[in-house]
Amino acid sequence: MPRIFVYIVHKAGVADDSAAEMIAAARKIDVGQAPVAVAAGWGADFDAVCESLRGSFAEVWKIGNEALGYPNAELVRPALVKVLPAGSILLMPHSHFGTDLAPGLSIKMNAAYAPDVMDIEVLDKTTLKLVRQEFGGQVSAHVRCDISTGAVLTIRPGAFKPVESAPANGTVIDQSAQVGVLTARRRYIETIAAETGDVDITKFPVLVSIGRGIEEQDNVSIAEDLADALGGAVSCSRPVVDAHWMEKSRQVGSSGKTVKPKVYMACGISGSFQHLAGIKGSPFIVAINKNPKAPIFRVADVGITADILEFLPELTAKIRESAKGRVSRAAIQARTSADESDAGRPVLRELVKR
Amino acid sequence: MEILVCVRRVPDTSENEIELNGSGDIERDDLVYSVNEPDNYAVEEALRIVEKSGGTVTVVTVGGDDDEEVLRREMAMGAKNGALLSDDAFNGSDGRGIAEILAGFVKKGHYELILTGVQADDGAAQVGGMLAALLDYPFASLVNSIEVEHGKLKIGREIEGGNKEMNEIDLPCVLSIQTGINEPRYVGMRGIRQVASLPVPTFGAPDLGVDGRAGSAGAKVRRMDYFTPPEGKGAEMLEGSTDDIVGRLIELLRAKGGVN
Amino acid sequence: MVEAIEPPSQVTFWFIQGRVLFWIINLVGSAFFAYIVAKRLAPMMRAQRDIRFDRPLARLGNLLKFWFGQWRHPRYLAAGIIHILLFAGFIVLVIHTIGLLALGTSDHPAPAGGLYGAISDYAATVVLLCMIVAIVRRLLKPARYAVPARYGKAHTADAIFLLALIALLMVADGVFEGGLNVSRWQHHLPVESTAVLSFAWMAQQALPAAPLAVVTNLYLGAYLVHELAFFFLLCYRPFGIQFHVETSLFTVFFAKLDRGTIKPVRYGVPDTQLDQVKSFGVKTFTDFTWKHILDFYSCADCGRCSDQCPANAVGRPLSPRFLSIKARDYCFQHYPVFGGARNGDRLAGTIYSEDEIWSCTTCGACEAECPLLVEYIDKIVDLRRGLVDDGNVPQSLQKPLKALESRGNPFGKMEKKRADWAKAANIRILNGDGGADTLYFVDSITSYDDRIQSIGRATAGILNRTAENFGILGTVEKDSGHDVRRFGEETLFMALRDHNTEAIRSSGARRIVTSDPHAFNALKHDYKDVPPVEHSSQWIARKVRAGEIKFNPVSEGDVYTYHDPCYLGRHNGIYDAPREVLDAIPGLKRVEMLRSRDRSFCCGGGGLALFYEPKEDERMGVKRVRMAAEAGANVMVTNCPFCMVNMEDAIKVAGLEGTMAAIDLTELAEKQMR
């Protein structure tokens, strides 16, 4: 088997958790091999990262270069090409950075490329059998990958469970000299932070998260009522932001916020991995969706096949009723008629199958 | 600015139910196809750039006769030229193969900017980056804003946390475009009819000088079959009347979630 | 008779002899007016063709009913009466006024006397009184006249100015006549009797003792004022809403005869040649037809259209009145009387916002109200055609349009599932073998929406019992395209229409029934060469009259009200058949909402209108269910699947769940059928 390298993503002196998942994936390729960590960067933070990696990797290849102070894939790529031996296998997370770096890297390394890998089996010395998803997660596919000239694989976050292993006490090998001068034809300017908005969803223990199933902006208040009754906040998936029904600051997912609530109610959310990537910790996940085959049901703890536009108001009403003593009918009626006056809660039935 | 946009015809996932046909492939009979959504955003962005700074937009796809319709649709949107890269020898290409074919086409022209959509239905998100590497052009993925400057572009990239990474990139370059960068204009039947008789030249393997790296012979990655994975434990589905379900859910929320 | 005062033609006014002076005023005034009219006609000459000279007898009928008969005016009673009196006064005074103008240039003038003279006097007095009332009304500012800030300043000052001028004209006339009679009386000459209590009479009574010099000055002064005021008004009117005094006759004569239809993309260009048309729809001003420009000139700014417009009522940026006024102002600016013409700007995005154009549900309330029969729907559709042609369609509409193109329905559901709802009910699919001659055209929403399928089942149930045999087109049916056309996608509409026409003709059907008023309207007006179509409520009413359908009584305690769907009621005049059906159900207590029949309030719109996301303060459906509650009803009977969707949602929003329910007429009929 060729040598397996794990590309380390790091930020502010800390290596990303994904490294452990990469090790697990590497084991599937060659169970006896200790993969090599390869990291690129510059400065004291970077030095600290490389040191910390010694605990999990037998070898840590350090690529230090002033131009690599900010992780610019256009500069990391030529550095890796110079450092990695021909025919190697490189693993990294399938993320914003991974998809920026890896495809071009595979060309420069003349290696095979397989993105967003969810499982790995070895068929023979030069062939892997991989599992990927297509069509937005609706079906899976088996893919044959020829690794005779090496391979670059990006790994689906969360697909490979980290394995327990003894601490490694590895060595850091400085490969910086091999790199030479790096010139950038793409230059980093700055990062514009996402607006924080009025509500910081990362601070709430309960999130009522809505997806396309909410159907229109006016229905968002249904979710707000439920969140209110549960003492939580409303978050959402990407399509809701794209449709301008909620602000970007409410989006949970790989291109949104990462949240660690205790309870996550996924309402009308299909469960794409980019969305799920934003949910950490192990919250109690309740999925409510009209489509019983929605991928979300594979990861939820509890599932309900229902139309959220009808189910959520019922749930809210019951919660309010059973919380802290009986609420009188008159109070409920008063609340309902007060609600009429704002932009309202129209409940246009599902007409578009999302 | 001469802009090339690489587009692809894909089954429209929002209007199709993707189902397996029992022999390892998906049921294709009732599929509705259209242009890959991110590619459409890319074409719209290209059109806006040329409307502001001059130039033309060319759309290209790798495929067969069926794929010509997406070229025409994008031409109806405003792209001046279309090109179909088609040859039996291209069948079975993997991502790199497609990139090689496209690179062969790029080298025949002079394009300052090459756009692709960030990913297609297979979620690979690979052709743009590969194309850039083959051409040795700078590359940026997940682009959600473009400003034209002299000899270069100022672009924004979507990164984790919803943040935006601003970069400067030299021309010529390759960019993969993220959805939401703009609001694509509508293309109606009339527009498509008006371009129905415009010429769309076809280029084969000899025209493009593509070696054996394209096609199934050169493919290092090959799909074996489609399947649905065994469900695993999955969620505990709550059944019964709405009242029952609501009641049970509230119990669970209290027990497992510490609510109320 | 020799008069005590010299007639105006003989008097010297400031060194000019009267006759010459008044010849000059008459000629210059008329010439100037002609010039202004020519300038106003100019953009109409550059505008698109319109076919409005056909069916002259029908047009004459309209003229008599709506123009001469002021038919629409009493719908707003107070203003209506004022206007009818005013209009009658003007008509009476036409001859009188011409005579008066001629008088200044004639050597032997004599004001008209006798019966006509008396009637004229009363007419003038009535007009004067109307002017006073109208001015007071303008000052009291009824809500209808309000001009929201974004449309500019209020029109009050201008309106009062014009009203005052007309009043001045009447006063001058009265003083002139009164003065002459006073002079005669003073000199013991025979006095033509003026009508008692008319203003002329009052002027006459006020002046008996005045010295001759004063009377003469008043007399001549009044004449001069009359002349000047007349020509000033004549030439001023084309610069504002008063132009309708002249243009109304033409606007009504040329008004659209075929309601429910939409104008072709270009008159004179058949569908098969549309590919040659460079640009679809209205993008710049002269893309309107000449009749539409005439409409802009004729809008009297009364605001009745906007008062009835449901979009306006819920706070959408659409106000039909301002569609006309803004276009008229644009026209005056770009095709001025003084100065050169400048065309060119796109209207959408400048005088009209895109949201404004997409906000219309084509309900027709504006057109049903306008006393001048000004048309709005064709203009909106043309504006939308222009937007679609430019690719400028909101994303919320692009999705259903794309689905209509690829799947034949706006929901994106699979074609092969279109008739699934019918399988369970064992409904026959027509295939041209003559098995059935009645076609039930289901259309998309009834086919695919879980809730609305029950209307399909109910309709089928009724047809089962009362038709010899019937069937549906099945999966070969596509959306009727009714709202595709009204949202400006003409090419897609034609494709759907042609496909369905072919399918209908191959089915062997000889009559069509549908429960969907949009489909009904399309099959009746938009489709050619298809068998005659009936709405299910008409079918049921017929069967009830023939005794073929009898009903069981409904349970006590419910109060029903019928909501007139726009495409059954206003656009097709079907108001009574559904009510007949309801009244044939024993024990059914029915009340009418205040706004019913042609004043019905749109539910929110159907077809593509369900997908558009407008900016509004409230939903139309919510307003409507509250109207039903106010009328004392707890069951709203709808007769259109889109009304049903909107009403059921509105009931939830308005918090009326449990107190109000909605049921379709076919559902109710089928349920109660014995």
pLDDT in tens, C106-151: 766 565 567 777 888 888 889 999 999 999 988 887 777 888 877 7
Q: Are A149 and A13 contained in the same domain?
A: yes
Is there a single domain that holds both residue B160 and residue B252?
Answer: no
Any idea which residue has 């010509």 for tokens? Answer: B68
| B143 and B195 assigned to the same domain | yes
Distance from the Cα of A126 to chain C's closest Cα (Å) equals 44
Q: Looking at residues A50-61, what average pLDDT do you find? A: 93
> What is d(CA C471, CA B200) in angstroms, rounded to the nearest whole number?
45
Mean pLDDT over C421-438 rounds to 86
Contacts of A144 in chain B (CB under 8 A): 221-224
Kindly state the helix (H) or strand (E) to which residue C591 belongs, with its residue range.
strand C589-591
Please give the mean pLDDT across all residues of chain B.
91
Give the residue, B182 or A254, on which the prediction is more confident: B182
Contacts of C557 (CB under 8 A, 6+ apart): none
pLDDT above 80 (res A348): no
Number of domains in chain B: 2
Per-residue pLDDT, C143: 78
The tens digit of pLDDT for each residue in A200-221 reads: 898 888 999 999 888 788 889 9
Asked if residue A191 belongs to a domain, the reply is: no
Chains linked to A by 3 or more Cβ pairs within 8 Å: B, C
Q: How confident is the model at residue B14 (pLDDT cuts 50, 70, 90)?
A: low
User: CA B21 to CA B85: how far, in whole Å?
Assistant: 29
Is B103 among the domain residues?
A: yes
Whether residue C469 is predicted with pLDDT greater than 60 in this model: the reply is yes
Residue C232 in this model has a pLDDT that exceeds 70: yes
Q: How confident is the model at residue B191 (pLDDT cuts 50, 70, 90)?
A: very high
| Statement to judge: residues A171 and A221 lie in one domain | no
- Which of B11, B123, B141 shows the shortest C-beta gap to A116? B123
In this complex, is the C-beta atom of A347 within 8 Å of any C-beta atom belonging to chain C? yes
Q: Is residue B223 part of a domain?
A: no
My answer on whether A62 and A131 are in the same domain is yes
User: B45 and B125 in one domain?
Assistant: yes
Q: Across residues C303-322, what is the average pLDDT?
A: 95
Count residue pairs from A and C with Cβ separation < 8 A. Answer: 55
Answer yes or no: is B220 within a domain: no
Q: What is the CATH number of the domain that holds A31?
A: 3.40.50.620
Does the bond joining B172 to the residue before it have cis omega, within 30 degrees of 0?
Answer: yes
Q: Which residues of B touch C348 (CB under 8 A)?
A: none
Q: In this complex, which of A340, A348, A351 lies closest to C411 when CB atoms are compared? A: A351
Contacts of B232 (CB under 8 A, 6+ apart): A298
**Exposure class string for C56-78: b at 16+ Cβ within 10 A, else e:** eeebeebbeebbeebebbeebee
Residues A100, B142: C-beta atoms closer than 8 Å: yes
Q: Which of A217, A346, A349 sits opposite C653 (nearest CB)?
A: A346
pLDDT at A333: 45
Say if residue C159's pLDDT is above 90.
no
CB atoms B237 and A142 under 8 Å: no
The Cα of B119 is separated from the nearest Cα of chain C by a number of Å equal to 20
* pLDDT value for C113: 66
* Cross-chain Cβ contact C401/B183 below 8 Å: no
Residues B88 and B196 in one domain: yes
* DSSP reduced 3-state for A116: strand
pTM listed for this prediction: 0.88
Q: Are residues B188 and B257 in the same domain?
A: no
Q: Are A187 and A73 in contact (CB under 8 A)?
A: no
The reply to whether residue B164 touches residue A145, judged by beta carbons under 8 angstroms, is no
> Does residue A174 sit in the same domain as residue A205?
no
Q: Say how many residues make up chain A.
A: 354
What distance in Å separates the CA atoms of residue C304 and residue C75, rounded to the nearest whole number? Answer: 9
The answer to whether residue B61 is domain-embedded is yes
Q: What is the mean pLDDT of residues B112-124?
A: 92
* A329 contacts in chain C (CB < 8 Å): none
Does some domain include residue A195? no
**How much is the pLDDT for A326?**
43
Q: DSSP readout, C301-343? A: ---HHHHH-HHHHTT-S--HHHHHHHHHHHHHHHS-SSS----
Per-residue pLDDT tens digits for A290-346? 888 788 888 899 999 988 988 999 899 888 887 655 444 444 444 444 333 333 333
Chain B: residues touching C (Cβ < 8 Å): 12, 14-15, 17, 30, 32, 34, 77-78, 183-191, 193-194
Judgement on whether residues B57 and B151 belong to the same structural domain of the protein: yes
Judgement on whether residues A86 and A12 belong to the same structural domain of the protein: yes
Question: Residue A192: inside a domain, yes or no?
Answer: no
Within a domain: residue A289? Answer: yes
Query: Comparing C-alpha atoms, which of C98, C113, C109 is closest to residue C230?
Result: C98
Q: What is the pLDDT of residues C652-667, one digit of tens each?
A: 878 888 899 999 999 9
User: Which chain B residue is nearest to residue C278, measuring alpha carbons?
Assistant: B194
Contact B188 C489 (CB under 8 A): yes
Please tell me the distance from the alpha carbon of residue C593 to that of residue C601, in angstroms, as a whole number. Answer: 10
Q: What value does the mean pLDDT of chain C take? A: 91
SS3 (DSSP) at A321: helix
A28 with A152, same domain: the answer is yes
- CATH code where residue A262 lies: 3.40.50.1220
Per-residue pLDDT, A324:
54
Total residues belonging to chain B: 260
Q: Vertex A195, ends A189 and A200: CA angle to 5°?
A: 135
Q: Is the pLDDT of residue C563 over 90?
A: yes
Starting at the edge strand found earlier in the chain, the sheet holding B2-6 runs A186-192, B164-170, B152-158, B139-148, B173-177, B113-117, B2-6, B56-62, B81-85, B202-203
d(CA C8, CA C19): 7
Taking CA atoms, what residue in A is nearest to C400?
A352
> SS3 sequence, A152-191?
EEEECCCCCCCCCCCCCCCEEEECHHHCCCCCCCEEEEEE
Mutation target to probe the A interface, by most A beta carbons within 10 A, among C649, C656, C660 is C649
Structural domains of chain A, count: 2
Among A110, A145, A178, the domain boundary falls at: A178
Helix (H, G, I), strand (E, B) or coil at A252: strand
Cβ-Cβ contacts under 8 Å, B30 against chain C:
414-416
Average pLDDT, chain A: 86
Residues of the domain holding B245: 236-260
**At a CB cut-off of 8 Å and minimum separation 6, what does B28 contact?**
B11, B21
Q: Do A143 and A106 have their domain in common?
A: yes
Residues B125 and B47 in one domain: yes
Instruction: Tell me whether residue A295 is in a domain.
Output: yes
Nearest-neighbour CA in chain C from B136: distance (Å)? 36
Judged by DSSP in three states, C563 sits in coil
Contacts of C397 in chain B (CB under 8 A): 186
Give the tens place of pLDDT for each residue, A16-36.
888 999 999 999 999 999 999
Question: Residue C299 — very low, low, confident or very high, per pLDDT cuts 50/70/90?
Answer: very high
In a domain, B157, yes or no: yes
Is A239 a member of any domain? yes
Question: Nearest residue of B to residue A102 by CA position?
Answer: B129
Mean pLDDT (whole number) for A176-197: 89
**Which of A108, A116, A248 is opposite residue B133, by nearest beta carbon?**
A108
Cα separation, B153 vs B144, in Å, equals 13
Out of C412, C622, C654, the one facing A353 most closely (by C-beta) is C412
- CA torsion sign for C586, C592, C598, C602 is negative
Whether C402 has its CB under 8 Å from any CB of chain A: the answer is no
Contacts of C411 (CB under 8 A, 6+ apart): A351, A352, A353, C400, C403, C444, C448, C449
Record the tokens describing residue A324, joined without a space. Answer: 């802290």
Task: Please check the confidence at residue B232 and state whether its pLDDT lies above 70.
Answer: no
Residue C233 has pLDDT above 90, yes or no: yes
- Asked, for residue B140, whether it belongs to a domain, the answer is yes
Three-class secondary structure assignment of C24-38: HHHHHHHHHHHHHHH
Give CA–CA dist C568/C562, Å, rounded.
Answer: 12
* Domain match, B197 and B100 both: yes
CA dihedral A18, A19, A22, A24 (to 10 degrees): -100
Q: Which pLDDT value is given to residue A332?
A: 45
CB-CB contact of C292 with C51 (8 Å):
no
Distance of residue A303 Cα from the nearest chain B Cα, in angstroms: 4
Assess B241–A contact: CB distance below 8 Å, yes or no: no
Q: Express each pLDDT in C40-99 by its tens digit.
A: 999 999 999 999 999 999 999 999 999 999 999 999 999 999 999 999 999 988 888 888
Higher pLDDT, B256 or A19: A19
User: Which residue is closest to B134 within chain A, CA to CA?
Assistant: A107
- φ, ψ for residue B144 (rounded to 5)? -125, 10
Structure tokens at A245: 């029904």
- Chain A residues whose beta carbon lies within 8 Å of the beta carbon of residue C451: 349
**What confidence score (pLDDT) does residue A353 get?**
28
How confident is the model at residue A194, as a pLDDT?
78
Query: Same domain, yes or no, for A149 and A218?
Result: no
* pLDDT band, very low/low/confident/very high, at A350 (cuts 50, 70, 90): very low
pLDDT at A335: 43
Q: A172 and A209, same structural domain?
A: no
Domain boundaries, position A33: 4-178
Q: Please give the residue that has the higher pLDDT: either A321 or C599.
A: C599
Give the pLDDT of residue A151: 97
Q: Which residue has the tokens 């020519």?
A: C38
Q: What's the ipTM?
A: 0.90
pLDDT for res A339: 37
- C315 touches A at CB < 8 Å: no
Pick the most confident of A250-254, C62-66, C175-179.
C62-66
Q: Which pLDDT value is given to residue C111?
A: 56
Whether the Cβ atoms of residue A24 and residue A32 lie closer than 8 Å to each other: no
Quote the CA–CA distance of C550 and C465 in Å, as a whole number.
Answer: 11
A-contacting residues of C 141-170, CB under 8 Å?
none
CA dist., res. A160 & res. A20, Å (int)? 9
Nearest residue in B to C484, CA atom: B188
Query: Which chains reach chain C with 3 or more Cβ–Cβ distances below 8 angstroms?
Result: A, B
Higher pLDDT, A263 or B260: A263
What local confidence, expressed as pLDDT, does residue A352 receive? Answer: 31
Which among A107, A122, A95 has a CA at the least distance from the CA of A21?
A: A95
Residue B102: inside a domain: yes
